[in-house]
């Protein structure tokens, strides 16, 4: 296999789509799963490109603290929280409650 960097974006998008409903994951976890553990920011960049794809649940991706760091990039500040809460994820102060319980690790569960 010779994955191009373009595929990296595609990989991130694919993983994001695979996130189970009611679960969340972190940029670092995705980066680690893709073998780019040092490139968590690139994952965020990939999500930025994914912003145009409505089939990608970017709201299920948060930073490693469970904070909705990317909510500013959504249409509305509350949208991300609303989406997560509607899926059964409790949010408080831009943070996922019981984060480790809803955390989805692609390296172990995928």
| Angle, CA 110 vertex, CA 87 and CA 99 arms, to 5° | 45
Q: Closest approach of Cβ 88 to DNA, in Å?
A: 19
Restricting to residues 48-107, name those near DNA by CB under 7 A.
48, 50-51, 58, 61, 63-65, 69-70, 72-74
Beta 95-96 vs 91-92: how paired, if at all?
antiparallel
**Nearest of 13, 4, 19, 7 to residue 102 by alpha carbon:** 19
Q: Closest approach of Cβ 42 to DNA, in Å?
A: 4
Nearer to DNA, 72 or 100 (CB): 72
Q: Closest approach of Cβ 110 to DNA, in Å?
A: 17
Alpha-carbon gap, residue 49 to 61, rounded angstroms: 14
Q: Where does this chain touch DNA (CB under 7 A) — which range of 1-9, 81-89, 93-101, 102-110?
A: 1-9
Q: Spell out the residues 6+ positions from residue 73 whose beta carbon is closer than 8 angstroms to its own.
A: 48, 51, 58
Alpha-carbon gap, residue 32 to 98, rounded angstroms: 22
Q: Closest approach of Cβ 65 to DNA, in Å?
A: 6
Provide the binding-site residues for DNA, judged by CB under 7 A.
Answer: 5-6, 8-9, 26-29, 36, 38-45, 47-48, 50-51, 58, 61, 63-65, 69-70, 72-74
């Amino acid at each position: 296999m010779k994955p191009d960097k373009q595929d990296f974006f595609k990989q991130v998008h694919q993983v994001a789509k695979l996130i189970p409903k009611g679960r969340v994951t972190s940029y670092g976890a995705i980066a680690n799963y893709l073998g780019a553990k040092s490139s968590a920011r690139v994952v965020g960049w990939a999500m930025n490109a994914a912003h145009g794809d409505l089939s990608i649940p970017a709201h299920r991706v948060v930073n490693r603290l469970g904070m909705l760091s990317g909510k500013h990039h959504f249409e509305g500040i509350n949208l991300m929280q609303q989406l997560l809460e509607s899926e059964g994820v409790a949010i408080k102060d831009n943070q996922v409650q019981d984060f480790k319980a809803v955390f989805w690790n692609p390296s172990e569960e995928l």
